Amino acid sequence: MSTPVLWACDRVPIVRRFSNDQAQATDPKPDKALYAFESIPGTPYLVANIAQVTAGKSRISSSEFYSRKGGGIANLVFLDSGSLESHSLFDTNQYTIFEATQYPLNEQAPNPEEKKIKKTARFVYQVLKKDTNGDKFLDSRDHRTIAISDAFGKQYVEVLTDISQLLNLQALTGNRLLVVYVKNGTKMASLLDLSQRKVIQTNALTKLGDDVE
């Protein structure tokens, strides 16, 4: 049902930003690199990550990068192999993509052969956008945003924000995802519609007692 494709490292340092009127003695050296493109199943598209460069290590392919968790993924670059159109998911490289997962949509295929292909139709992202705990790192302890895009990284929509703890994210039938999480101290469960890229239902979990955090 789903294919996890991107994982960021646990701790990514916050990069200091300078305004245009702040003089710098030397130009800062790039601390990120573009890694190899990989095909998105069932589509003419490819995707690559822009990620933190690990000091003392040469560039490696995307598949090696995912398994080694060599650095934080700051952005994704999508490429159309037909038109050669390309674009970045974000207009900044200052976020961290904690996870990006590919999902098909359950639609009628015109013939049995096409039905066998697990065609990616949606990306679901977990994005860290702010250092919410003030430790100067972006990692799993910071609040995250759940977002959905199409297979080309377009039509990006943030469906859940300010999640302090993610308790479950799993695919259900009917192009839906179940997300169980904590937000503003309340434990919640939401159903996401992948096709429409929106939340269709949210309920607070049952009371668990004063002795449960």
3-class secondary-structure state, position 7: strand
Query: For residue 158, is it left (φ>0), alpha (ψ between -120 and 50) or beta?
Result: beta
Greatest distance between any 2 Cα atoms in the chain: 63
Burial class (CB in 10 A: 0-12, 13-18, 19+), 141: middle
Burial call 46-81: b when 16+ CB within 10 Å, e when fewer:
bbbbbbbbbeeeeebebeebbeeebbbbbbbbbbee
**Is there a contact between 100 and 90 (Cβ–Cβ < 8 Å)?**
no
Burial call 30-45: b when 16+ CB within 10 Å, e when fewer:
eebbebebeebeebeb
What whole-number distance in Å separates Cα of residue 41 and Cα of residue 120?
6
Backbone phi, psi, residue 114, to 5° = -65, -30
What whole-number distance in Å separates Cα of residue 209 and Cα of residue 14?
37
- Residuewise pLDDT in 10s, the chain (213 residues): 666 555 444 455 554 333 334 444 455 678 899 999 999 999 999 999 999 886 444 443 343 333 334 358 999 999 999 999 999 999 999 999 999 999 999 876 556 555 566 899 999 999 999 999 999 888 889 999 999 999 999 999 999 999 999 999 999 999 999 999 999 999 999 999 999 999 999 999 998 888 887
How far is CA 95 from each of CA 59, 74, 175, 185, 211, rounded to the nearest angstrom?
Answer: 21, 5, 28, 24, 35
State which amino acid sits at residue 104: P
What whole-number distance in Å separates Cα of residue 65 and Cα of residue 72?
10
> Given this model, what pLDDT does residue 65 score?
35
**Is there a contact between 13 and 137 (Cβ–Cβ < 8 Å)?**
yes
What whole-number distance in Å separates Cα of residue 196 and Cα of residue 79?
23
Whole-structure pTM value = 0.80
